[in-house]
Every structure is written in C-alpha cells, then in structure tokens.
C-alpha cells in the first residue's frame, strides 16, 4: 500500500508541472497588460513601468514561470497583484469555506445510495420511477438554472431560506446550515443524479449475473446475496463515478459560490481570472488539481478493499 501511494505521488509531479505551465501560458495569452489594470486608467507611464518592474512582468514569460516554479517548490506562491497579502494566506482562509460547501453537497450521497439500491433491487417499481425521475432532472438541469429556481422559490416567494451570504460554522452552526442548504442542493443534485443511475444500473446487472443466480439456487438468504454478492460487486463502478464527480464538485463551486456570494475558492478564482491575477490563478488551479488527484488515489485504494483480487502495487 505504501509503495503504491509513493508511486502515485511521484507520478503526480509531472502532471502538476504540465498543468501549471499550461495555465501560465494561457493566462499570458489573455489580451491586455496586467500592469495597466493594476495601475488604473489614470496612471502615468512611469507608474505602470514601476508596477511592471515590481512584479517582474517585463521579463520573458518562461523566466517568469521559472521564478514562480522555484518559489512554489518552497511553498511560496507569491503575492497577489491586487492585495498586499500572500496568495497562500488568502487561499488558506478560503479552503475551509469551499470544503464545507463541498461536504454539504456530498450529503446527497445519503439520498443517492439508498435510492439507487432500492431502484436496483426493485426495478420498474414506484420507487424506481422516482429514482429515474430524480436522475433525469438532476442530469438535465444546469447548476446556474437550478440555483435561480431555488432562489426564486424558497428565497423570494416562500421566504424560507436566505438567498446569499456566508457564516462561519464555528461561530454559528445553525446560521451556516441555513445558508448552505440552497448552495448544497444546487451543487450536489447533479452528483446525486449520476450516482443514482450508476448504482441502479450496476446493481441490476450484478443481480442478473450467473453467480448471483447460483447463490439464490443454493438457498442463500436475501441479505447475503444482496449485501455480499450484489452490493460489493456493484460498488466498484459506483466508486469510480464518485471519484470523477468529486472533481466536478470542486469545479462547480466557481459558479455556485458566485451566485450565492460565498467567499470560497471559486469566488476567489473567478475574481483572479477577471483581474489576470497570475499568482492567484496558479495557486487555486494547483489546489483543485491536487484535490482531484487525491480523490483519484482514494478511489484506487478503495478498489483493494472492494475486490481483493486487485493488486494495488501491480
């Protein structure tokens, strides 16, 4: 297990290098001069030149990237172009906000797993119809459309829930939960829908296989057949899909946080893109990529527990 984790960590290094270089070059292709944006419309050429020299924006792009990479290897992601504060400090204050939103959205698993299991065990039943309806709606409705509908219905018309804002969980758990309900539903419905469909299809396929029929013929109990043979074998494709959906979950926070005015990594990333704040864009991108890679690693490790025949080190 340890060997597998070390190999995956080493394999992540070139991926991070390629991603960071690609993002750096793409930002460099954006029209406009970051020094002019920072200086303002009324700035003189001398002021613009001073800002360009302070942030080394007059160096060749590969020299800029090399300087950033050397500092990043020392966990120094530079200073934001628009704030007198290190990017790492700004991100550190926003990571718990985004993780809290993602965790609240992941509570959709409490609905997806039992609903998908019930639909797979009793296909073409009334509960299967509900599961398919939820899956279809969740996949078809975009996040931003669902957010607007939820705000209009539960925030404006019924006045049950606040439409925007954020409260720290440790200061006021009740207020935090109240403010997270609509964003969590917006962010988690798509993941819930995908998992319901995957669990239902996988379980139906496994329960229709020959080895399960043999277990029924031997007189095995329903609990043994469904839990040991059915769920365990149906879990592998569902866990794979879950790992992919967590990556989409982190990316989806950019839109959801902006709509509901949540000061997380998504809002910070969007602001950095609009301002061409290169250090902030680079750092947030690496955080998102690392999150997706860690989730991929956890999925691969879970394969070894779900199916002992899978050798992680091979």
- pLDDT tens digits for 127-139? 989 999 988 988 8
Question: Rg of the chain over CA atoms, in angstroms?
Answer: 24
Residue 42 structural domain: 2-89
Q: How far apart (Å, rounded) are the C-alpha atoms in residues 231 and 32?
A: 55
Residue 124 sits in the same domain as residue 220 = yes
At residue 312 the predicted structure's pLDDT band, cuts being 50, 70 and 90, is low
Instruction: Name the E strands within the chain.
Output: none
Asked if the structure places residue 311 within a domain, the reply is: no
What is the mean predicted confidence (pLDDT) over 224-238? 75
What is the mean predicted confidence (pLDDT) over 209-226? 73
The count of other CB atoms within 10 Å of the CB of residue 150 is: 20
Asked if the structure places residue 314 within a domain, the reply is: no
Residue 83 sits in the same domain as residue 159 = no
- Looking at the 3D structure of the chain, how many domains does it have? 2
Give the chain's count of helices (H) and strands (E). 14, 0
Looking at residue 170, its pLDDT comes to 87
Which CATH number goes with the domain that contains 179? 1.10.3720.10
- Determine the 3-state secondary structure of 79 from DSSP: strand
Residue 225 sits in the same domain as residue 129 = yes
Q: What is the pLDDT of residues 233-281, one digit of tens each?
A: 777 888 888 877 777 777 778 888 888 989 988 889 888 888 888 888 8
Residue 172 φ then ψ, to 5°: -155, 90
Cross-strand partners of 86 = 79
Q: At residue 313, does pLDDT exceed 60? A: no
Residue 81 sits in the same domain as residue 209 = no
CB 86 within 8 A of CB 78: yes
pTM: 0.82
Cβ-Cβ contacts under 8 Å for 9 (sequence gap 6 or more): none
Residue 86 φ then ψ, to 5°: -70, 145
Residue 203 sits in the same domain as residue 79 = no
The count of other CB atoms within 10 Å of the CB of residue 205 is: 15
Tokens of 203: 């379980």
Tokens of 257: 């946080």
Residue 137 sits in the same domain as residue 282 = yes
Which of 22, 56, 89 is the C-terminal boundary of a domain? 89
Looking at residue 309, its pLDDT comes to 62
Which of 89, 109, 135 is the C-terminal boundary of a domain? 89
Mean pLDDT of the residues in the chain: 84
Residue 84 sits in the same domain as residue 164 = no
């Amino acid at each position: 297990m340890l060997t597998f984790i070390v190999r995956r960590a080493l394999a992540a290094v070139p991926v991070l290098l390629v991603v960071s270089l690609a993002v750096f070059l793409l930002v460099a292709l954006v029209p406009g001069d970051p020094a002019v944006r920072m200086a303002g419309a009324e700035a003189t050429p001398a002021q613009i030149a001073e800002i360009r020299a302070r942030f080394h924006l007059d160096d060749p792009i590969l020299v800029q990237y090399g300087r950033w990479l050397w500092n990043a290897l020392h966990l120094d992601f530079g200073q934001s172009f628009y704030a007198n504060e290190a990017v790492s400090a700004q991100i550190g204050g926003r990571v718990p906000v985004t993780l809290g939103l993602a965790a609240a959205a992941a509570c959709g698993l409490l609905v997806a797993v039992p609903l998908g299991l019930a639909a797979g065990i009793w296909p073409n039943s009334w509960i299967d119809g509900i599961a398919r309806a939820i899956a279809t709606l969740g996949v078809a409705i975009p996040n931003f459309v669902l957010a607007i509908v939820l705000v209009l219905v539960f925030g404006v018309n019924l006045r049950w829930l606040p439409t925007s804002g954020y409260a720290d969980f440790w200061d006021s758990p009740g207020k935090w939960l109240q403010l997270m309900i609509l964003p969590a539903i917006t962010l988690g419905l798509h993941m819930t829908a995908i998992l319901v469909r995957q669990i239902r299809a996988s379980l139906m396929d496994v329960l229709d296989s020959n080895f399960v029929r043999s277990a029924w013929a031997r007189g095995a109990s329903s609990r043994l057949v469904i839990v040991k043979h059915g769920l365990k074998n149906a879990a592998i494709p569902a866990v794979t899909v879950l790992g992919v959906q967590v990556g989409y979950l982190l990316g989806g926070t950019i839109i959801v946080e902006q709509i509901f005015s949540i000061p997380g990594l998504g809002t910070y990333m969007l602001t950095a893109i609009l301002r061409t704040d290169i250090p902030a864009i680079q750092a947030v991108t690496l955080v998102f990529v690392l999150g997706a890679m860690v989730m991929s690693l956890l999925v691969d490790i879970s394969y070894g527990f779900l199916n002992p025949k899978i050798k992680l080190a091979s």
